[in-house]
Amino acid sequence: MTNIILLKNPTTPTDPYLTKFSSIYTPHFIPLLTHTHKHKSKTLAYLTSLTFLSIPIFIITSQRAVEMFNECISELSDEIREIIFSKTAYTVGPATCEILKRSGFRDVRGGEDAGNGSKLVDFIINDNQPINGNGGCVVGKDTRMVFLTGEIRKDIIPRKLIGLGYNLEEFVIYKTEKRDDIIENFNSVVNDVVRCDDDCCWVIFFSPQGTEVIVDYLRNRKDGKKWKIGVIGPTTEEYLIDCDLKPHVIASKPTPDSLFDCIYNYDRV
């Protein structure tokens, strides 16, 4: 089977990309980043504060943010957890939406209908469903919202919402750092792939972060392999083009199904 290198940390307990691709491809994960709590004690204090408990809406767009959020929630009292689970959550993409629902959140919006931050903002301002804890009203400019995010994030959501006059605050819940073993892990996987009989291999970029050594390798490759490049969205596509690497496929949505479909269809041509 054709090898496919996924430049991401595998999601636990089951990664949806592994599930989707394993039937006809041989997936390899190369973790590029480590995600840890920014200040766990401060996050716990914030989650139990009147400030947060009185906010009816939170926005969370990263699976890593959800993981850190869930770790903190698990340490709270049943009473506090119930208040948090009753809040309205807005998120990007079906995967993060599903994780939130499995975690216990009952009112999760966006998801499949909001594939990126810009679309999520449009979804929020056009949402006509009442918000729990907001007096039965829909989202308005005075409705308090908090964006639970990482140290490194795109500013599309706060820039658009605050620019439109919405009452949004931010709380940094996790930090991201490059792993020290990227080169070692990449070389190990490449050595295995190069030894395979298959003359081509896919490498999939999910984000620009931590990919410098992989970009350098692909620009100067001399291993005899035909490397095909896929990306999860337009931001990463622009990054690679700026690095003189043109992706072969771009997923129409940041989902395993969309990525699989565009790769599979490309390989069939």
pLDDT, one tens digit per residue, over 147-200 is 999 987 778 899 999 999 999 999 999 998 888 888 888 888 888 877 776 778
Q: What is the pLDDT of residue 266?
A: 95
Q: What is the pLDDT of residue 29?
A: 94
Residue 240: phi, psi to the nearest 5? -65, -40
* Whether 165 contacts 67, CB under 8 Å: no
Residues 68 and 19 in one domain: no
* Whether 162 contacts 168, CB under 8 Å: yes
Q: What is the pLDDT of residue 135?
A: 67
Residues 255 and 221 in one domain: yes
Q: Specify the DSSP element, H or E, that contains 146.
A: strand 145-150
Residues 28 and 63 in one domain: no
Distance, in Å, from the CA atom of 145 to the CA atom of 57, rounded to the nearest integer, reads: 5
Q: What is the pLDDT of residue 224?
A: 65
Residues 208 and 86 in one domain: no
Residues 54 and 100 in one domain: yes
More confident residue, 160 or 132: 160
Residues 160 and 224 in one domain: no
Residue type, 5: I
Confidence tier at 133 by pLDDT (50, 70, 90): low
* Whether 49 contacts 185, CB under 8 Å: no
Residues 141 and 256 in one domain: no
For residue 6, the enclosing domain spans 2-32+180-268
Distance, in Å, from the CA atom of 37 to the CA atom of 56, rounded to the nearest integer, reads: 23
Q: What is the pLDDT of residue 184?
A: 87
Smallest CA-to-CA distance from 169 within 85, 86, 64, 49 is with 49
Residues 146 and 198 in one domain: no
Tokens coding 233: 């969205």
What tens digit of pLDDT does each residue of 56-86 get?
999 999 888 999 999 999 999 999 999 999 9
* H helix intervals, the chain: 16-21, 40-47, 50-53, 63-73, 78-85, 94-103, 117-126, 156-163, 182-194, 212-219, 234-242, 256-268
Share of the chain above pLDDT 90, in %: 57
Q: What is the pLDDT of residue 109?
A: 93
* Whether 81 contacts 73, CB under 8 Å: yes
Look up the CATH number of the domain holding residue 155.
Answer: 3.40.50.10090
